[in-house]
């Protein structure tokens, strides 16, 4: 109540200011009047009485000011006064204001942008029921036995028996051809256990979810009318049925199988992986594409669930454990963390880096401010002499800082508003309902807090400097040791941070160049790729597939720019869900499973792969379905001299066999070197029935991009009903795969550029200011015989010393940043000598460049002119 009352009195005091003011005047005047009357009555003449009464009363204005202060309107009024004054000061020095606002706006804007991403990904909860209780069993199903899911019953029994999970669901995302509307389209769909929706706590908005007996124990699509059902996404519902509830009961074709629509998912629900359709899972043995999610039992803590899971999964793990990175080990994660994966750490790391940038911006503005406060000593001491307390002056300076910071925050928000959409391109949010937005409470609060804290940070040093203010007598010179050491320390700190960023830039740039130039066993530059899928089309049946492929290959081969063309089931770097096989030679099994890649004739010639011995398949072998194979060198080396493998038989445990006609160098089918399967076997597509999805590859003349549409249109011209998608050059595919490292490199380089600019501004500010302050000293030195070179050396020497201190201080931090850079780029950067040397040289060069102008100014000082001022 007290607060309300005083607030009311403040507000009424503000609004009725003139009235209150008048009443105070009235009261005080009455007092003086009464006093004068009394004195007159005691015999003093009227004029003298009035004079004495005023004298007795004391300093009228001072007491009036004290009354105002006692009334509590003071602080607000002071604030307004301070703000007006601050605005005037900022307008008066547009150069300083522009540099300070720009520096801060970049810092705050970058923070806002990164925070809005972090907020969406990490801090806002997922749009499911009690999302904090949903777990992802990460990579639990690596070795096809855990959780048990050979049959429907096995899996659900396991979930029901669990002591720490209330329920669990499995699913598998697949790309499929969807028919039902206009033509056949390629879409991402998911097959789930029947309880998928209930584990998430989301129910279809129209219709219902799956029932217990919708699942089937077979690799099939269920029985018509029973489990051949689907829940469709809201978007698909709008697109195919115009949002009509009569869609329930309609059929939709998935890879040529007709499924009945039984429900529509809520708007924006597209978990997992932006899928558009959910269908019941067909359980079968050995499916390693499954993902499991679960809901924790009520009352079970995450720590408990995690350890219980670890205990349960341990005996299922293969021994010895594969040499996978620990991030991929089976573990129970919260769904939110699971959705993010490695992005989580990168996001937090970026947030840290961007805070560092803001810190640097703050130090720079602090440096500028100290210089300016020193310039304003005369003004400040006049104000102090007129009765302003130190606190009052400090408040004035802080108000100026806050104003600067808030103006910068607005500019920063605008900058973030324009840049955040870029982040959505590099790292789209995992769920459709999530989006990166700047204009929401969390982000605005963060920006406000960041700007206020920044203002406090960069305002602190100048305000502390006020302590040295003297009202009378000579002002302590700003070149006094203390002030200068502070400013040098600030520049040195900037150098230190920039040193870290610069070396990180070198490491990251080096790592990225390494990634992009790695020899992956095929030609990246000249390959165009286009995918098709025959599922659900008229070519689905086995005997119609080969003619389709031959027709496409023929037509593409005849294009002018195409040198060579072939096709494969899946491309290198895109080995999701590859087929593995237990291969050997002449009945002797290889040490481990091999990956098997079905390819057409001329595949290696087209891809630029290296054939070491023998040859690859020809058209006749592909057409006749000849049992021939090509193996890679590593596989062949397991059975003696690789060149001797030609002509031997490639065999499987189940008795199939192929004649080996060639040995090749092999290709990188994964980007992570530890995950690349060293054993690769290439065979012609099986007969009858090849494979529904396939990718055509063509080696074309440069520029590759310009031929993509011609190839795509040619393939489409064979049959417009076949979905043709993914027309990209191999280089584009590679770039997409490494979009994250590329983005991190871009960000770090941007930050570094920004930091270098700050160093230029900081060093220049420091030296220009010192030189200006020391003009007379320099004059005396020159009058006493110092040469221009001596003076120039003195100024450059100061810059050199400051920068060296920063460089030496920053060097140890680089060892620490090395690990972070490695984790960002997915590979450890090599030696540290180059980054450190480059960082040190670049900073020195930049700082000396910035010092050049002040040094020249100092050298041009004319002793006669300089000394005239004193």
Partner 1 sequence: MPERAQILPGTLDLLILKAVSLGPLYGYGILLRIEQISHGALLIEQGALYPALFRLVRQRLLKAHWDTSENNRRTKFYELTTAGRKRLRQEEEGWNRLVIAIASALKAQPEEI
> Where do contacts with partner 1 occur on this chain (CB under 8 A)?
6, 9, 23-24, 26-28, 30-31, 34-35, 56-60, 62-63, 66-67, 69-72
Give the CA angle between residues 375, 378, 380 to the nearest 5°.
95
Closest to partner 1 by CB, 24 vs 356, is 24
| Whole-number Cα distances in Å, 538 to 275, 688, 689, 726 | 25, 15, 13, 21
Closest to partner 1 by CB, 27 vs 157, is 27
Tokens 């390629």 belong to 186
Q: What is the C-alpha separation between 183 and 178, in angstroms, rounded? A: 8
Closest to partner 1 by CB, 76 vs 422, is 76
The neighbour count for residue 35, using CB atoms within 10 Å, is 18
CB of 56 to partner 1, least distance (A): 5
Closest to partner 1 by CB, 65 vs 543, is 65
CB of 52 to partner 1, least distance (A): 11
Asked if 332 and 138 touch (Cβ cutoff 8 Å), the reply is: yes
Q: What is the C-alpha separation between 669 and 116, in angstroms, rounded? A: 35
Residues in the chain: 870
CB of 391 to partner 1, least distance (A): 18
Asked if 434 and 120 touch (Cβ cutoff 8 Å), the reply is: yes
DSSP 703: P
Tokens representing 709 are: 């549409």
What DSSP assignment string belongs to 135-166?
Answer: EEEETGGGGS-SS--SSHHHHHHHHHH-SSEE
Closest to partner 1 by CB, 25 vs 543, is 25
Q: Name the strand (E) or helix (H) holding 176.
A: strand 165-179
Closest to partner 1 by CB, 23 vs 543, is 23
Closest to partner 1 by CB, 70 vs 783, is 70
Closest to partner 1 by CB, 67 vs 757, is 67
Residues with Cβ within 8 Å of 134's Cβ and at least 6 positions away in sequence, in order, are 126, 128, 199, 200, 293, 294, 295, 296, 334, 335
Closest to partner 1 by CB, 66 vs 713, is 66
Closest to partner 1 by CB, 61 vs 789, is 61
Asked if 700 and 728 touch (Cβ cutoff 8 Å), the reply is: no
CB of 57 to partner 1, least distance (A): 5
Closest to partner 1 by CB, 22 vs 819, is 22
Closest to partner 1 by CB, 62 vs 615, is 62
CB of 54 to partner 1, least distance (A): 10
CB of 32 to partner 1, least distance (A): 9
Tokens 């102008």 belong to 853
Q: What is the C-alpha separation between 707 and 702, in angstroms, rounded? A: 9
N- to C-terminal Cα separation, the chain: 61
Residues with Cβ within 8 Å of 573's Cβ and at least 6 positions away in sequence, in order, are 520, 668, 669, 670, 671, 733, 734, 737
CB of 71 to partner 1, least distance (A): 6
Asked if 210 and 156 touch (Cβ cutoff 8 Å), the reply is: no
Which of 96, 129, 141 has the alpha carbon at shortest distance from 281? 141
Q: What is the C-alpha separation between 855 and 789, in angstroms, rounded? A: 10
CB of 69 to partner 1, least distance (A): 7
Q: Is the peptide bond before 147 cis (omega within 30 degrees of 0)?
A: yes
Q: What is the C-alpha separation between 134 and 168, in angstroms, rounded? A: 9
CB of 66 to partner 1, least distance (A): 4
Tokens 């919708």 belong to 214
Closest to partner 1 by CB, 24 vs 410, is 24
Please, what is the angle between helix 390-426 and helix 377-385, to 10°?
140
What is the chain's percent helix, strand, coil content, to nearest 5? Answer: 55, 15, 30
Closest to partner 1 by CB, 53 vs 747, is 53
Closest to partner 1 by CB, 56 vs 701, is 56
**Regarding beta strands 291-296 and 257-264, do their DSSP bridges make them parallel or antiparallel, or are they unpaired?**
unpaired
CB of 15 to partner 1, least distance (A): 17
CB of 14 to partner 1, least distance (A): 15
DSSP 266: P
CB of 40 to partner 1, least distance (A): 14
Which of 558, 568, 389 has the alpha carbon at shortest distance from 471? 389
CB of 28 to partner 1, least distance (A): 6
Burial of 737 (0-12, 13-18, 19+ CB in 10 A): middle
CB of 77 to partner 1, least distance (A): 15
CB of 399 to partner 1, least distance (A): 25
Tokens 């609004």 belong to 15
């Amino acid at each position: 109540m007290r607060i309300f009352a005083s607030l009311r009195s403040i507000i009424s005091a503000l609004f009725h200011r003139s009235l209150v003011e008048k009443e105070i005047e009235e009261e005080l005047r009455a007092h003086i009047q009464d006093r004068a009357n009394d004195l007159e009555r005691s015999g003093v003449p009227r004029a003298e009485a009035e004079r004495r009464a005023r004298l007795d009363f004391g300093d009228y204005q001072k007491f009036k000011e004290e009354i105002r202060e006692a009334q509590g309107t003071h602080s607000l009024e002071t604030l307004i006064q301070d703000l007006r004054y601050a605005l005037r000061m900022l307008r008066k020095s547009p150069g300083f204001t522009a540099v300070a606002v720009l520096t801060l706006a970049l810092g705050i804007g970058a923070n806002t942008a990164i925070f809005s991403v972090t907020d969406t990904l990490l801090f806002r909860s997922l749009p499911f029921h009690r999302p904090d209780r949903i777990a992802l069993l990460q990579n639990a199903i690596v070795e096809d036995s855990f959780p048990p899911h050979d049959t429907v019953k096995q899996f659900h029994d396991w979930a029901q028996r669990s002591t720490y999970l209330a329920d669990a669901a499995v699913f598998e995302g697949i790309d499929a051809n969807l028919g039902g509307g206009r033509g056949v389209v390629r879409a991402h769909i998911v097959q789930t256990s029947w309880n998928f929706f209930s584990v998430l706590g989301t129910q279809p908005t129209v219709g219902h979810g799956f029932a217990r007996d919708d699942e089937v124990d077979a690799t099939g699509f269920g029985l018509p009318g029973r489990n051949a059902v689907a829940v469709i996404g809201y978007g698909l519902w709008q697109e195919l049925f115009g949002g009509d509830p009569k869609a329930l009961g309609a059929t939709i074709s998935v890879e040529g199988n007709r499924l009945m629509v039984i429900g529509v998912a809520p708007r924006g629900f597209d978990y997992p992986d932006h899928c558009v359709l959910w269908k019941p899972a067909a359980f079968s043995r050995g499916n390693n594409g499954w993902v499991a999610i679960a809901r924790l039992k009520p009352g079970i803590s995450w720590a408990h669930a995690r350890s219980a899971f670890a205990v349960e999964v341990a005996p299922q793990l293969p021994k010895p454990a594969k040499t996978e990175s620990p991030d991929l080990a089976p573990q129970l994660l919260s769904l939110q963390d699971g959705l993010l994966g490695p992005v989580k750490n990168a996001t937090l790391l970026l947030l840290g880096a961007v805070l560092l940038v803001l810190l640097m911006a703050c130090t720079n503005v602090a440096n500028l401010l100290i210089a300016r406060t020193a310039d304003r000593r005369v003004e400040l001491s006049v104000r102090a002499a007129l009765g302003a307390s130190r606190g009052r002056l400090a408040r004035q300076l802080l108000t100026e800082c806050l104003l600067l910071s808030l103006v910068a925050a607005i500019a920063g928000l605008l900058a973030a508003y324009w840049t955040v959409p870029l982040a959505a391109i590099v790292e789209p949010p995992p769920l459709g309902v999530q989006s990166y937005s700047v204009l929401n409470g969390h982000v605005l609060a963060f920006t406000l807090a960041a700007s206020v804290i920044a203002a406090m940070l960069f305002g602190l040093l100048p305000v502390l400097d006020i302590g040295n203010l003297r009202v009378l007598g000579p002002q302590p010179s700003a070149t006094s040791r203390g002030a200068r050491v502070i400013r040098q320390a600030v520049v040195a700190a900037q150098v230190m941070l920039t040193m870290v960023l610069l070396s990180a830039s070198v490491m990251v740039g080096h790592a990225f160049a390494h990634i992009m130039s790695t020899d992956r066993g095929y030609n990246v530059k000249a390959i165009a790729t286009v995918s098709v899928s025959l599922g659900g089309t008229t070519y689905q049946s086995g005997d119609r597939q080969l003619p389709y492929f031959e027709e496409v290959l023929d037509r593409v081969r005849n294009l002018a720019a195409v040198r060579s063309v072939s096709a494969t089931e899946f491309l290198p770097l895109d080995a999701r869900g590859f087929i593995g096989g237990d291969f050997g030679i002449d009945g002797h099994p290889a040490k481990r499973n091999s990956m098997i890649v079905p390819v057409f004739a001329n595949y290696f010639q087209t891809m630029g792969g290296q054939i070491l011995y023998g040859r690859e398949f020809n058209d006749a072998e592909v057409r006749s379905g000849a049992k021939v194979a090509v193996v890679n060198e590593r596989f062949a080396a397991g059975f003696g001299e690789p060149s001797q493998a030609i002509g031997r038989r490639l065999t499987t445990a189940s008795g199939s066999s192929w004649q080996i006609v060639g040995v090749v160098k092999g290709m990188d089918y994964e980007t992570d070197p530890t995950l690349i399967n060293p054993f690769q076997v290439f065979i012609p597509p099986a007969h009858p029935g090849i494979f529904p999805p396939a990718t055509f590859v063509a080696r074309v003349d440069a520029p590759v991009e310009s031929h993509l549409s011609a190839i795509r249109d040619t393939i489409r011209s064979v049959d417009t009903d076949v979905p043709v998608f993914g027309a990209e050059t191999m280089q584009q595919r590679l770039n997409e795969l490494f979009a994250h490292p590329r983005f991190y490199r871009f960000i770090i380089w941007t930050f570094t550029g920004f930091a270098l600019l700050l160093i230029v501004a900081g060093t220049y500010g420091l030296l220009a200011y010192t030189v200006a302050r020391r003009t007379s000293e320099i004059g005396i030195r020159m009058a006493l015989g110092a040469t221009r070179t001596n003076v120039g050396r003195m100024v450059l020497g100061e810059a050199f010393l400051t920068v060296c201190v920063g460089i030496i201080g920053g060097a140890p931090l680089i060892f620490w940043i090395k690990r972070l850079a490695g984790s960002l780029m997915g590979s450890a950067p090599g030696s540290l000598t180059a980054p450190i040397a480059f960082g040190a040289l670049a900073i020195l060069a930049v700082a000396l460049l910035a010092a050049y102008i002040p040094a020249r100014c100092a050298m041009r000082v004319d002793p006669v002119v300089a000394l005239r001022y004193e």
